[in-house]
Structure 1
């Protein structure tokens, strides 16, 4: 059988299963799928609880936005019209089913934060529950650096990925140009934050980053690929270590 890249189920493959993103129901479906990793997004509440959610806010029962970082887990649970999954219970479910965790951090510790960075708190929980069966990804360079420093001491084989391709188009035009250039030419950023995994949006992967990373023996994770033809192409590209998809089953269909 031809060797393929690993598969990661984006947001617990909620679209494939038909459930809400990062929900308990989607996790239950994801652990039964033929995937190697289950990806989910993590935020931190005001009282330090890590929860699964993509955006930095939830919508309450009447549609108002409620910022996750500004409320306690208990308060958010009362306001949300759905169950908020705790990070630890998601990890425990994956560990029980022999799946690896693809942890995408959607928060970052403040630059003047005192004490242990919150990213490290999340990594310690993952190490406790999953042993070393997890990777961590983030779009924040400083978070990558903090986590790589942590990994050197606690879990040297852990991959920490810098995500490229998620530039916020609301930035000032001049800042946006700088950010875009730093994503097309990320060598300086990768060197400074010491990322040992490059997480690249599929359109950037088409440009030249695959060739660049392959020459430097850096693992590449391509996201988020749903088109069946493109998905199979990336999955069987020897330069790609893992592919994230909302529909991972499509990668296993006959060509």
Structure 2
């Protein structure tokens, strides 16, 4: 009888130990917002070659753009400063996962595939994949005219995925910087560029007459801020700030500043 009681006690202790171990291994505290506030700084990953959303200002050498102004406004509401860390777009999500920065606020299209690896803020603007050609181009009217043409896009973007599904393209030329893609388009090295509409629109505003946006668009996509899956408290605080910035008119002011219209 004593042996049985002893055996049952051992089993109970081992069971509790295993259960406790599993619980501590699977349940972790979300201190993402607390961590940022304690540091008094939010570290933001960006691709700084994507005007007018985020780019390096040639005159000042500092990063500028719609997303930069928006992130600064959100940080102010969180009571912290911003630190922007440039990163090539094709490696920006791996850098987020490895904790190189707290968030990626860099015109990120929200897709089902990306949702498997990270979480997102609510959409704050809608982009997609518009087609831009030289202003004097009369042969390309939509994607059906891509046959035997060289078409440019930024590496790692949804544009690359969309173009991969279109048959007949001679080459999908992938760029690390959209600025280089539009330079090649200007010089006739490629026939078209596929990018978010506001990117090409910015070139048409700042350097009019060189490019035109076709009426046909390949996709329309919601754009948000990306976070690590476990960082829900930081994501929720970001969402709250975005709603407040829409309500107080800040987002409308930024839209007029960078796009020339109020998209809100």
TM-score (norm 2): 0.27
Larger Rg: 2
Higher RCO (CA-CA < 8 Å; seq separation 6+): 2
Task: Give the strand-richer structure, 1 or 2.
Answer: 2
TM-score (norm 1): 0.28
